[in-house]
Structure 1
Amino acid sequence: MNEQDIFQKITDEFYWFHRHPELSYEEVETTKRLREDLAAAGIEVLDLPLKTGLVAKVGTGEAPFIALRCDIDGLPIQEESGLAYASEHAGRMHACGHDFHISAVLGSAYLLKAKERELRGTVYLIFQPAEEAPGGACKVMETGVLKDVQAIFGLHTSPLYDVGTLGIRSGAVTASVDKFTVTFHGKGTHAAHPERGIDPIVMAASFVTAAQSIVSRNIDPAHPGLVSITHIESGNTWNVIPESSWLEGTVRCLTAEDRKLIKKRIYELAEGQAASFGGHAELTWYAGPPATDNTPDWTDFAIEVAKEAELDVVPAPVNLAGEDFAYYQEEIPGVFVLVGTGKSPANHNPKFHVDPAALGPAARYMARLAVEAFARL
């Protein structure tokens, strides 16, 4: 295929992927379609113990090794975009642009295959499952396929930028993501006689207020971070003080130090607030991905390549959303790039959409990163 044919092919595939979203670890048809696309182009798919998702390779089969990564799962959202190629599956939607990511990296694979004889190393093309779970990146890492990779590059749609603009910055672009649940245990009683019980709802309410002091009083005011309590349950009627109350929430921040401190304070406040009312707290912590961490020298490289490709580059904004590309960056230097896909409602919004015109430039840019990374290494 020539470049024009490649761009038409990945646009058609983008429409297909958008119409057929699949949730995390359920991307069976998406994976099957990718295998067929890659096989038709003579691109090798590696034999790995992945139930969904895949890794393909192009190049010499020898060092140096570079990786390009995309994610392939959709979200449990009912689409309201009004697109002619809207999701055909009720309650499921590619509302975060993973269909775009798939198609752009597929285009990069085609472009690299077309000049495979000129490549001076091997490119692994990661079509990763379950980014939204999150944790699909860990499944890929566990296969060991990336143990010799010297640099990794990932992309993400951005509704903040026009087509032709990239957001790139050194260091953290997205935040660490942790979830916690707290059960406050008290003593049930008649609502008319609170003195005979221990009210777990008061404990929970006090904790919700106190937890907001962590960001405002315990971490550096210049450091972005948040503690959000998003779900509370307790009781089942109007005249009974219940035995317990339960809540859950999330913590987001950009540094490992703040992440550790916020966790410590969540535990202290939950236990302290419960004890102050005569009850006790039971807390469970669910650690998600760390903050992304763009390597400074590879970030400078990615900016240089973008400018050579006549793409506009702006500093990526600090974002407290999470991204499991960060798991790769714990072991492999690399860069996570935001790709302008036209102005749109935010990611995870039922009206989110991207401009397919951004596919060609994104595919060409990702392929160029790989080729020029070989020269740099």
Structure 2
Amino acid sequence: MAFTTTMLSWGTLEYGHRMGLHIQEAQAAIRWATDYLLKCATATPGRLYVGVGDPNADHNCWERPEDMDTIRTVYWVSPNKPGSEVAGETAAALAAASIVFHKSDLAYSKILLKTSQEVFKFAWQYQGSYNSSLGSAVCPFYCSYNGYKDELLWGAAWLFRATKAIYYYNLIKNLGADDQPDIFSWDNKYAGAYVLLSRRALLNHDKNFDQYKQEAEKFVCKILPNSPSSTTQYTEGGLMYKLPQTNLQYVTSITFLLTTYAKYMSFKKHTFNCGNLLVTPSTLRSLVKRQVDYILGDNPLRMSYMVGYGPYFPKRIHHRGSSLPSLAAHPQSLGCKGGFRPFFYSMKSNPNILVGAIIGGPDQSDTFLDDRKDYNHSEPTTYTNGAIVGTLAYFAIANLKSS
């Protein structure tokens, strides 16, 4: 939730001017999340609430939200049960959102920023992983596989952008840039932090941030298909392919970074090289457009992986509310196991279309079975959608101008 909020906020900051009236919807979605995160951070002194509901129990059920009666255990991190990765990301989300609301609701923006600073202070002062503190409440579903240093860097980077305070700059320099990622996701934030910090080097000509510009460009070189240092697979149909579990989450997150770095490059008319490959802003935008077009239906199956978009899209996605009948259609309660038969295992289309949701996507052979049991490919996530909003806003206006 926190990563989704950070990415939706970043997209709004970079491309809000291209959203037209839709910026109000983006802000409403951000506020829905930040209201919740504020409660998580302030409800009990010394605690940051990070989860509700036993994930093992919940995953054993297939029922409508209206019928849920599984135990709603509440989980939190605290000084003696630290969780620097979840606290660092929560701080990033609140800081990014504080910038979004700075002009439209200054009082709310100040609350977000103050809370972000407090949450980040906790993340920094009591360093430790929520894997250890919360165990099966987060693993294996949302383990922090990458440690928490990236979230500390990410949180400090967002607080520096929000405050310009030397304190956060010093923390950023203290954390350094010694990781060389070829991925960007809710678990690994290094590439995002490098692109965010490179903004200072490219837009403000601040040489203190050249290190992050260089790291951002090393990341880009690992993504581009024709780069000699590329470590990224592409399917025969042209889709970036990172991992089999919800691959489109990596596509949407990485393409947002490429779009945004291209934007920063354009301000300074900057180019760079990956070996003998010259990289220009249009190099990055062309790759991003290919990925977005693929997601929206320009692929071997002519399948749009955004539900409800185009004539041919997934009909049996792995989503309880979408796959189960509404209360109007089926007033009787569906217990924990009540939704499995006949609904979960049915080959019928979901009765409720989750319009706009982007699912996990095809496999590395460009194949998609449209099977709700195959959650790796058919499950939608908020962090997949949150990352693509800014990129779609960019191309929506770019296409209007070109036409």
User: Which structure carries more strand by proportion?
Assistant: 1
| TM-score normalised to structure 1 length | 0.28
Higher RCO (Cα < 8 Å, 6 or more apart): 1
User: Which structure carries more helix by proportion?
Assistant: 2
**Which is greater in Rg?**
1
| TM-score normalised to structure 2 length | 0.27
